[in-house]
Structure 1
Amino acid sequence: MSDGGDDGFVDDGGLFGGGGGGGGRRRRSNGGGAGCAIALIAALVLIFAAFAEDGGGGGGGGGGEGGSTGGAASPAPTFAPPPVDPPSDPVDPPPDPDGDAREPEAPDPVRDAAPGDCLAEGGTPDAPDLAPATCGDGVFEVREVVPAGADCRDYVNGAELDRAVRYDGYDLTLCLAYRHGAGSAYHAAVGDCVYGGSGDDARWEETSCQTGNFTVAGRLENESSWDDCDRSTPGYYGRSFTVSGWRPELDVRLCLRMNYPDDAGRSHLNTCLAMTGSVESPTFTFADCERANVYVTGRTSDYADADFCAPDAWATWRNEDFPDLGYTICWRWLNG
């Protein structure tokens, strides 16, 4: 019998924790199979470790502070977006809500009209056809643009309003003044002063009032007659303005009165006057006869006609451009 110490056999009971040595047959130990299994497990561990190391970042550094040999997951790649050019100034108009590009509105002489603009009439008074024009003679100037239902006379001086053209489609009315080729006196109102030449083609302009020019005593529009003017006062004169190719509504007749140096120029026979100054350089003012100191004894349109007045005193004046409106008055002291 052997003592069981060195012959390569193992006691079944000792290996599996059985009871003490009992009798029985000994068998050869399976130590060689167990060793193969252990070796296989070790090889698998090494292969797994190598695989994990290779997948941990392609030769990158080891684990973190914890000393882990396991490979960390690679970060996901990032990409910078391509640069974006700043938006350029828009060339085309933005689309409207329906998706169509808005076309810029074409200029319209009526819709876009403003005070001071000038328009030429290519139509008729009843069917106007106004077009932009250079401001000059023979065109219409816009004085005001008012709502379609408004009255231009509430916005424009009557003498400066020659025509009102209403456009319901634009909800506006154009208040127009005609630029007459005969001068600005065409738009003179009562009380304004004007002056011009005596010829038929002479221009007449508005001007400040002074001796020798004319005050507008009456303004007649449309169809009229000189009989409609008050011609009873000395110094009366008239000037008419017509517009060819139009109906009479643009025609104007001005009833004028000469601006004499004093009231002697408008005096009649037996008019009482208050005279101041010297006999050689007198000034006459209308006055009632109780306060007057002279009265008119005669009058003629001839200039400096002393013989006509003899033996009375006289005073005379004339405008070289309008000699027929000159005068010589004869006067005498009331209490003389």
Structure 2
Amino acid sequence: MADNRRHHPSCIIGGKEKIGRSIYDFGDDFAKLIFHDQASLGEILQVGDLATNVTTSFLFRNNETKKIVFDHRVGTFSEKPILVISKPRSGTHIVSNILKAIGLQQVCVFLDHMDTYCYRLDESQRLIHQFPTGIPLFSAYKMFASGQFSHSHLIYSDWAAENITNEFAILTLDRNFISFKEYIISDMKGRIYNKIISGHSNTEICELIIGGVFDVEIEFLFKEYEVQTASIDLWSEYSDIHIDFNDLFVANGGACAPIINYIFGDNYAEAEINFWSELVRRVALEGESFTKRSDNKIHADVDEILSERIESICK
């Protein structure tokens, strides 16, 4: 039988399909859409203006409602999907662990004004691959379902505030005490970690830093620091739940109680909410954060050289 996918890149695959090490069983409720290029993605989403090339990936279409989503799996019911909007390195992965502990399904999609990024996690929930999809924000933000969550460092805009808040419950996360240098170091270590897991050695990374390969990114982050700070302040005015980084490490249920109340309602006794909140918080902290993961991979000499480079650029 001829392989029609060559002629129809937006082919639909039904039944069970093995992807990496996971088995997705979506039965008759969803069709799996494979897209390879701008033309096939435009056909699937009925979007005429896509400015970037699309990396091979897949989407799911609900056979009853015809809605296209990034992931067909859902978890604990929530009135809307939850979008975590935060500064980089402000506890985003800990809050993600909290939402997963409560039972929401994480959708590995990162919303951004410039592009929409999908990322892959291994069985230990470690990042193994990230790539741009070419799906514009004005389409991507509608491709989530109740019982799901995602996180983003989406910069505030009036358009985003007006439209995204209709589709998502917004959870804002802030870390007021981080300095611009800590911000840049923390973000750069995340970028360096991605290069290390892609095959670069720590010695090679040191040579790249000294050679000025990261200078443009460092300068960008120096400017971005103020933008991110102003952005999260504006998003906080639209948030359904707001969490401060410090609360993630206080054993009083303060960080998790607002999330649990939002999802399950406020009909529970305060003592009961605090008990479950503290249990969820401890489970979340047991998970390895992205910051811990990058620290374990990056050697001390990279830290030292990176710090010196940042100081020489951001005077």
Please report the TM-score for the alignment, with normalisation by the length of structure 1: 0.19
Which one has the bigger helix percentage?
2
Which one has the bigger strand percentage?
1
